[in-house]
Chains A and B, each alone.
Chain A
Amino acid sequence: MGTIYDSSRHLLSLVEELLESREGENLRIDVTGAGVGIPAAQLDAVFEKFTQLKTADVVTAGLAPQESVFAPFLALTGGYGLQWRVMIQLKNLSKTYSTRGVEHTALEDVSLTIEDGDIFGIIGISGAGKSTLVRCINLLEKPTSGSVVIDGVDVTGFDGRQLSDLRATIGMIFQDFNLFAQRTVLENVTFPLEIRGDDRADRERRGMELLDLVGLSAKAKQYPSQLSGGQQQRVSIARALANHPRVILCDEATSALDSLTTNSVLKLLRQINREMGVTMVVITHEIGVVEKICNRVAVIDGSRIVEQGMAADVLADPSAEVTRRLLGRVRWDA
């Protein structure tokens, strides 16, 4: 049983390669963690290739069944393994703040592996350490110990230009949107390109493209204060995408929005993940967000990861007390 590490974006070429090199063999393809990162345009081609793998077993353990684009192939059998490229790896991460001599541990020995093209949820109650954790990924916060590996590169010690370049490939969206109030919607979206030194015409073209994607091209010349919360978050999503990021970090991106607006923003995030293959790290305290878009989930409580796994499994059979609380399985006043 062989193993191939690669991006879900390269699924098609991998399948082709497999077909050629293993002709006549029994194949077993494990697409754990995939299926959310495949560009829609390629799906049909992928389907077609898979139908040629008559003898293969495609395992979709990584997907909620209703989400699985590979569902039709579940019945096939074989013996070949395929794994997905790791995008983010946190190894034994700890973070201790010290304010006037008083030490406070916000993260303790956190290890996580997030695959390319995944939507990875991190859920926990307020103060659990979620924001600290996500801010360690793009090093807005320097971990006290442990390491951060992005796409195979240990970035923990990055600073200066190197750090700026790294951050440019990681988009981030926030609970309060953090849009620039004195810039137009278009200027907000093109900010990441402006600081990279792209010229105006290029960045405005890209900006309008992104505003189109989030359905706000009519608002390009307006200011954030003229938009609703949901629209502002769409602008900040467009801004996060400006640099063609590999990863988008969402820190409570829907916590300031009502439930209908939340759904539309979540749908947009899922669409972006599917069409562009962008890996998403979704921080939330709302179980509904995990239920709706996350593939995998880690539960953080008291600075530690207390359980993790496939979102569907964790939600169906939570092992940690805090997960049951978040799920409302514990009486609220108990």
Chain B
Amino acid sequence: MREFFAEYGQLLIDGTLATLAMTFISTAITYVFGVPLGVLVTVTAPGSLKPHRGLNAVLGWIVNIGRSIPFIILLVALIPVTRLIVGTSLGTVGAIVPLVVAATPFVARMVESSLAELGPGVIEAALSYGASTWQVIWKVMLRESLPSIMRGVSITLITLVGYSAMAGAVGAGGLGDIAIRYGYYRYQDDVMIATIVILIILVQLIQMSGDLAARALDKRNR
């Protein structure tokens, strides 16, 4: 055991940090794009704040197409784009572009469904007091949905932990990379099992802290 950690400890720590960096940075960037997209899809829907049939249909299509392309294909197909944007398609930095592209439509849909939970009543109340469209979006829709959106964040983080492991296979580094190199190519089961255990712990921790955060934020049912 001690021997194992002496030999692979640093490798696993570095891998874990790389996975965490990829996951958290991609999630943050994904929300920068995903939230406005989700809001836009919601408010342009028929009967909503700013109905716009055309825009709504186009956005819906883009989101659906984004969600239907398998990640592994996106990963390879986006290599040239990634090089163009961040200068490399390798390593942690190189993984961020495909991770963001893959997760944005997914987050947009989750934000959309969080906003849909709200129901028309409070929006109508806000409008009846003279709130503008922007005020309704900021002060009512997003603010009232924050706990629900927060739950989506942990789902996204966990999904991206999995995706980043996949990205590891094409040179992104992190735990996925270690699992492939040591576990698959060199038949070192102990290293592979160690990476899996770390991944399980990461997922559990993210889920637990996400639930705690959402519960702390949510002012209902107390």
Contacts and interface: CB of A to CB of B under 8 A. Distances in A.
B81 interface: no
Interface string B116-154: 000001101111111110010001100110110000000
A225 B130 contact: no
Given A174-B121, A182-B143, A182-B219, A195 B127 contact: no
Contacts of A194: 139
Contact of A167 (B130, B139, B146): B130
A223 interface: yes
A226 B219 CA distance: 9
A166 to B, nearest CB: 8
A138 B125 CA distance: 11
Given A165-B130, A167-B130, A181 B125 contact: no
A180 B130 contact: no
B interface bracket (residues with beta carbon within 8 Å of A): 20 to 34
Nearest to A225: B220
Contacts of B129: 167-168, 171-172, 191-192, 195, 239, 242-243
A192 B130 contact: yes
Given A181-B220, A225-B219, A191 B126 contact: yes
A182 B147 contact: yes
A171 B127 CA distance: 11
User: Is chain B's interface secondary structure helix, strand, loop, or mixed overall?
Assistant: helix
Contacts, number: 80
B221 interface: yes
A176 B222 contact: no
A225 B147 CA distance: 15
A43 B22 CA distance: 72
A196 interface: yes
A170 interface: yes
Contacts of A196: 130
B57 to A, nearest CB: 16
Nearest to B131: A195
Given A178-B124, A181-B144, A194-B139, A223 B130 contact: no
A77 B68 CA distance: 84
A270 B132 CA distance: 31
A312 B130 CA distance: 35
19 contacts: A138-B128, A140-B128, A164-B131, A164-B132, A165-B130, A166-B130, A167-B128, A172-B125, A180-B125, A182-B220, A183-B143, A183-B219, A184-B219, A191-B126, A195-B131, A195-B132, A225-B219, A225-B220, A226-B222
Given A182-B146, A182-B217, 18 more contacts: A163-B130, A164-B130, A164-B132, A167-B127, A172-B125, A172-B129, A178-B124, A181-B122, A181-B220, A182-B144, A182-B218, A183-B219, A195-B131, A225-B219, A225-B220, A242-B129, A243-B129, A249-B128
Interface of B: 121-122, 124-132, 135, 139-140, 143-144, 146-147, 217-222
